Chain A
């Protein structure tokens, strides 16, 4: 192996080892920081989802309380629901529909103490049907939001429901109301564009629960009120997932840039090492060439000035040695 090659390898090692250590360290630290930030962001998002859910639920409860206060004072409701006045019956049947639209709800049912539907906003013509399971489940969950799957005349409706009750003429009535648990609500819950929120409930395919993409699972009480379903309290889950590859894309992007920077640095380092090796070894090479070209037989016969440099120095040194001893050897 030539001297120049050995120099080149030595320079390469001197450049690449610290560079590699730097790359490894920086990448490791960045990954750790990113992961930690992501965890914190996910935890904050899950907290936000819980807060938003609680806020939405409280909003529904406030609207129901206002409706209940209005119905308590409503004479036509009293005539229809308590006195069973035929004249006010049409008003009662249409009451929930109008109130539901005005209050921005997606579900509204007014039931008597037996669970008989007096008026329904989302399914006007289900009046007089018995559905005691809904107020019972809502009473059991209290201030917590309840996910309810109810029947409408067309497709089933999934709602975040709350209940309120009021008394008129000594009779207790229940108001069950809610907002649709639809894509719009779910999009509103996931403020972070890197996270998505989905509801997994028994009627749907189960959401992945051990996936590394799942950052939080929020259990919610659930009841299915479709005909034929067993109306017993069950559980649904609000699954907060990291949008596929958000962190991975970031990591891959950083890795790509890092590799590009590393490749450029290594390339430059190799070029630099090659240049340095060449630079350092060039005088020695020239010396070796000149040394090889010396005709020791005529070394003392060289007349005239030699160019300055190491060969000249060597020439002069040999000259000095020649004047002292070569004569003895060759004479």
Chain B
């Protein structure tokens, strides 16, 4: 990192150039400043390590999951993002080995291992993602340097650069490679087989693992929040929350949901609402007048059933829809209410809420987390900012803004 005194003249120059206007100015400014590679610091004990024996060298880790919780890990294995953000919020290099801001904090120059022009071209095909991420400009300075202009200034590298929406396919998956075990009709079969890790929210499976005694169980960070979404102008579900919403959420987490859950806790990424552009036109879909939920989501079903039990509405029912039907119903906004899971943390709030009916009331219900059941001496894994597991890959070198 550059000493503070050394950066002052550069900042003045950058400010002047910025006032002259434009991305090119900013790009020139960053070109004139020598980029500081992120300092490599040793990580004696990684607080984000979640399982296994890091000393063991393994090519693959066989992973099973009883739900879709393992999907983020698989995305991260396939896609490389400019940086990754670990469980403590540290930016770690991936495609970008270094980065630095201009004086305004809006323009960040990434030093890439890959072609800057190719990455810029790839991103430009994702206009919606760039808009949601607040990225206004992309200027490759040379083969390996890319200036990314953001709408808002930031003190540190915007975390949105760690979102897989900005990822590009990896040429080589980080070791150990996560291999998904074939599904089993009984989730306990996964434990009986030679599976290294099982990610689950199922309390019965966790109980079975405890009784086996040959596995270690690790709770992962809170990763999902369940919401009750009530479209504007509908009948709603009546007053089911009551006066004490914190107690309501706590009771839901304790009794209604059969998973490791707690009452949803702020901050919520959807508050305050982000300007995501004009709402999408409502689609047409059949209306059942029910509280609907994704059929394969056990927790959403439990919550929807509790909402129905508490509602004074005589004709209110809960109805499970498959994923495609649920997405269509949500987009149409014609149901009484929707119970669904969203990520506990989101780097792209507009991506998560783009399908929500305009003007909907959003009631957070519970946060849930999954647990990792690991075979003894399984290879080590780490967790990211959102609780997703990932292979550690190359030694984690913390990055940072100079």
Contacts and interface: CB of A to CB of B under 8 A. Distances in A.
A154 B302 contact: no
A63 interface: no
A227 B304 contact: no
B141 interface: no
Nearest to B306: A125
Interface size grouping (class) on chain B: 10 to 19
Contacts of A124: 302, 305
B314 A227 contact: yes
Nearest to B256: A125
A227 B312 contact: yes
B255 interface: yes
B305 A125 contact: yes
B254 to A, nearest CB: 7
B313 interface: yes
A155 interface: yes
A11 interface: no
Contact of A154 (B258, B306, B310, B317): B317
A22 to B, nearest CB: 65
Nearest to A124: B305
B14 interface: no
Interface centre among A123, A129, A155, A229 (most CB of B within 10 A): A123
User: Binding site of B, secondary structure by majority: helix, strand, loop or mixed?
Assistant: helix
Contact of A93 (B255, B312, B318): B255
A90 B253 CA distance: 11
A181 interface: no
Nearest to B304: A153
Given A154-B317, A154-B318, A227-B313, A125 B258 contact: no
B175 interface: no
B329 to A, nearest CB: 16
Contacts of A226: 314
Interface in A213-230: 226-229
B305 A123 contact: yes
B314 A153 contact: no
A126 interface: yes
A323 B308 CA distance: 128
A299 to B, nearest CB: 110
Contacts of B310: 129
A125 B309 contact: yes
B365 to A, nearest CB: 12
B254 A89 contact: yes
23 contacts: A86-B254, A89-B254, A89-B255, A90-B203, A90-B255, A123-B305, A123-B309, A125-B256, A125-B305, A125-B306, A125-B308, A127-B255, A129-B310, A153-B308, A153-B309, A153-B317, A153-B318, A154-B318, A154-B319, A155-B317, A227-B312, A227-B313, A227-B314
Interface of B: 203, 254-256, 258, 302, 304-306, 308-310, 312-314, 317-319
